[in-house]
Amino acid sequence: MSRLLAPALLALMILPSLVTPALAQAPAPKVTITGLFDQVTAGGRNFYDGNFSRDGDREWYARTRFRPDIQFAVGRTKAVLGLEIDIMYGQAGASDGGFPGNNSGSGGGNAAVGGGPGGTKANTNGAFDLNTDVGGMIEIKWMYTEFDLTGKDSLLPFIPVQTVARAGAQPFASLSNYKIAAYSNGDFAGVSAVTTFDPSVKTNLAYIIVEDQLAGSNRGIPNQRFTRGEDWAVIFSPEVTPFKGLDIKPLYSYFHADGVTSSSARRNLQNIRTVGQTTNGPGAYCNTSALTPSVTGFTPATTNAAGALVSTPGACANAGDPTYHDDRHTVGLDARWRSGPFGFDPTVYYQWGTHTSQAQKTNGTIGRVDADMSAWFFDAVGSFQLGPLLLEARGIYTTGNEARDNLAKSIRYYQPLDADGSYYTGWAQILSTGVDYFNGGFLPFSRWIGYDRYGRASLGLRATYSFTPAFSVYGIVSPTWTATKVDTDTGVVAASATANNGNGSLTRTTVVGSNQSWVKGDSNYIGTEANLGLTWRFAPNTAFDLVGAWLFAGDALNTAELLNGVTVRREANDGYQLAARVRLAF
């Protein structure tokens, strides 16, 4: 017995001595901070509200953005906290924003584009007025943990391949696409995993929670629930490098939505045959067939003299009925190829699915109608480097619907999961975001890629000449059309950059009292934007950007109004912008 006990005691004494050095060798915690400071000033005219036929909108303003990312790391495991502060110079309304409202772009409680009564600049948290005392300004952008899911020293070490996972609020980065905002961009809450099989093959997998419902909120009469349903998406995107210089990234993504959902993921467009007359409003998902006129506040849907639906679904919650679904599939590929001075970046996606809403049926009755989705998206960039001169050309085409199409039955326009106002960035200042990324960024293009239901066709030409590695100048010319003709016998509404309730993406609207809206298309030509700019990296990690932009407005931006019972047509006017920025990156 003693001969057995002695080795056991010896093993117990040796084990702590082995464990202690192992623990002592654990990597020390490390905290690093990266990010940027932007000081931006910009002025312009006639593009802020999206209505180019009325040119009274003009401004000159300045602002500051501070965007730090704080990384807490122990070995390969890390947690990231991304913060953001956006404040304009000078008080722009009744208050300087911030706590307790703390609503981006609504310092005085008004979230209108360009401010408004009591409001600050859209996308800012508040304003530096005299004495510059503001509070409650910090936005949380990212808050995620990154860790090894499979492979050596991982959560699942018995799986031999290396997988790095993230959980929490995180950036899309290149999970779905190389090209900025072709399908997904910005940030999301959920989980993701990148698995590397070898240096030339890896896969990206993400589960995105768009909207969630809590226990209890999914009970009761569907029309009266306040839940916005269970909206989510999945992205699966392999990456293959068959040889040096060529990267190929196929994509499959599935998006599901219940009732009203974020306008970032689903366009809200005028459709006179949908209950409530918008495709992503509460009326479109109010199950009127389940209600009777005896229900307080409910009036059955009817049609007006022009044949447009009129509905006051007072018994429906603002979220609509979550039993009305969107099921959307997107498949295709993104690629990039480099060979000497040549470069080519093509992207092609096809989208299909169904969209269910309350609308007018073929027989004239009101009920559930399924829309068939079928849309194409093409985007290709070609480049040639000739010493200090870089020449680039970009072509874009997305399919669209005709003016008189019933969107409750047919959807032919492409819808990204979330472009985050960044599509076509760097190729325009007014029709996309650029040096001043709070102005410009024509929302139909930068957030939803196409114009209203009409799709898009663009040609961009960009030339950049680098006098030195630190100093370069560039010029851009970008004519733009729509895939189908725009009905200019309609009005326009400024799309709110902060509206995530589904109602913020309207572009073209019915001229009430006129029977000309949604009859036929009139023009494809949106206009041509020309830019001239420079970048000067005058100090380490510090750059100065200056750019001027002019949009030669086309006939597709014309509008109509009803004045004293008469339809008045207004021609679009040109718009311009001048912007400067000093950026410190650290």
Report the C-alpha gap between 440 and 434 in whole angstroms: 7
pLDDT computed for residue 6 by the predictor: 44
From the options 2.60.120, 1.10.3470, 2.40.160, 2.60.40, give the CATH code of 172-585: 2.40.160
Name the band, by pLDDT with cuts 50, 70 and 90, for residue 47: confident
pLDDT of residue 298: 34
The average confidence (pLDDT) of the chain is 84
Cis peptide, bond prior to residue 100, ω within 30 of zero? yes
How far CA 502 is from CA of 76, 110, 262, 417, 418, in Å, comes to: 40, 18, 5, 14, 13
Q: Does position 481 have pLDDT exceeding 90, yes or no? A: yes
Token pair 């009430």 is at which residue? 512
Interatomic CA distance for residues 442 and 426, integer angstroms: 13
CA distance 335 to 242: 12
Neighbours of 205 (CB within 10 A): 17
Domain borders along the chain are: 172-585
Mean pLDDT of 153-182: 96
pLDDT tens digits, residue range 279-303?
988 788 876 554 433 333 334 444 4
Which residues, in sequence order, are CB contacts of 69 under 8 Å at separation 6+?
33, 34, 35, 80, 81, 82, 83, 142
Please give the pLDDT value at position 57.
80
pLDDT digits (tens, 9 = 90+) for 108-122: 434 444 444 456 777
Looking at residue 105, its pLDDT comes to 45
